[in-house]
Amino acid sequence: METFKVAVLEGEKNIVFHEVQKREPDDKQVLVKVDSCAICTLEQRFYTGVMNRYPFAGGHEASGVVEAVGKKVAGVKVGDKVAIRLLNSCGECYYCRNGHENQCVKSFIAETQECAMGPGGLAEYMMVSAADVYKVADDADLEHVALTEPLACCVHSIENGQIELGNDVVVIGIGIMGALHIQLAKLKGARVIACELDEKRLEVAKKMGADVLVNSGKVDAVEEVKKLTEGRGADAVFCTVPVAALADQAVQMTGKLGRTVFYTSFHPDKPIEISPNKVHSSEQIITGTVNPQKKDFLAASRLLSSKIVDVSDLISDRVPLAEIDRAFEEAILPDTYRILVQP
């Protein structure tokens, strides 16, 4: 029987290829030939040992082409280009049943590949539920479509920020997530202020559509934002950097009735001080955002399929699956955006 390769992390910086038997899909399954899979922060943490549940079949930002479908699959057909939703929810817990599957108590317990726990996109093929593939346009760029999942995360974040037309919005940190926040905030009709230490990343922010660039290494970012907003502070602030001091800045630069959104997870989780009286009197909302819901993933797939959001500047390199160690070493460099692994 024909087999295919799956990359599995079996320890810190220890990647082993497993051979998995290629089979026909069950009634409601789809066999997808992987085109591109991006290496996210999650996979980087397993690679560097920050997270250490091994063995782990990583890769949850993936795109591909449908190679076979089950007898009861109607939504896609052989040859369709698809984005693949790989961070699954159980569908049974309180949060899933309440329409908040991104808060599923069993999320990340994905077993896409038979050889190891994990989403399993760093492979030649994937067998997935038909409900988890999202058809895109025939002329869609599958390299771009691979970034549906991170864009979906940002869609969810932007919705939590409740941006209104004409709002002043701050994005702290212009990594890939900050860059995507800028594009989405502009689509919402906001004036976007980008805060970043790195001049090269500020140039990326400008390409993404940021209206004002603030080098937080040269000026006090909080005071600069207040100056730019006539002393009010921003209507929404998105902190996309896992640094507690920047989370504190985000709270401080948010104005009355404003929304502060902590986009990223924080490792280590260092507490910050928040004045309950300021939150009380200003009606400031401080919230977080984690994982996309299905509707966010659908929106993201349509934004990329229709070329409304452009991610071409956010792909740093394309590396063959056979050279996956090099792909991870590039991915963990601080100036890298997304590395695509391609079979």
Burial degree of 217 (CB within 10 A; 0-12, 13-18, 19+): exposed
* Cα 275 to Cα 256, 278, 284, 318, distances in angstroms: 14, 5, 11, 46
Whole-number pLDDT of residue 108: 60
The residue with tokens 């699956």 is 321
**What residue type is 179 in one-letter code?**
A
Architecture of the domain whose range is 3-147+311-342: Alpha-Beta Complex (3.90)
Instruction: Answer for the pair 185, 178: CB distance below 8 angstroms, yes or no.
Output: no
In the chain, where the domains are located: 3-147+311-342, 154-288
Whole-number pLDDT of residue 109: 58
Whole-number pLDDT of residue 142: 98
Closest CA to 325 of 3, 5, 62, 17: 17
At the fourth CATH level, which superfamily is domain 154-288?
Answer: NAD(P)-binding Rossmann-like Domain (3.40.50.720)
What span, in angstroms and rounded, lies between the C-alpha atoms of 42 and 101? 19
Whole-number pLDDT of residue 90: 87
- Please report the beta strands in the chain, taking only residues with DSSP state E, as ranges in sequence order: 3-11, 14-21, 29-38, 61-69, 81-85, 125-129, 133-135, 168-172, 191-196, 212-215, 234-239, 254-262, 285-288, 315-320, 338-342
What span, in angstroms and rounded, lies between the C-alpha atoms of 329 and 343? 18
What span, in angstroms and rounded, lies between the C-alpha atoms of 291 and 297? 10
Instruction: Answer for the pair 179, 169: CB distance below 8 angstroms, yes or no.
Output: no
> How many angstroms from the chain centroid is the CA of residue 118?
16
What span, in angstroms and rounded, lies between the C-alpha atoms of 324 and 37? 11
Q: What does the longest C-alpha to C-alpha distance in the chain come to?
A: 69
Instruction: Answer for the pair 177, 184: CB distance below 8 angstroms, yes or no.
Output: no
* Cα 153 to Cα 149, 263, 290, 332, distances in angstroms: 6, 9, 7, 20
Closest CA to 148 of 7, 335, 340: 340
Tens-digit pLDDT string for the chain (343 aa): 799 999 999 999 999 999 999 999 999 999 999 999 999 999 999 999 998 999 999 999 999 999 999 999 999 999 999 999 998 888 899 999 999 999 998 876 577 888 899 999 999 999 999 999 999 999 999 999 999 999 999 999 999 999 999 999 999 999 999 999 999 999 999 999 999 999 999 999 999 999 999 999 999 999 999 999 999 999 999 999 999 999 999 999 999 999 999 999 887 889 999 999 999 999 999 999 999 999 999 999 999 999 999 999 999 999 999 999 999 999 999 999 999 999 9
Global pTM reads 0.96
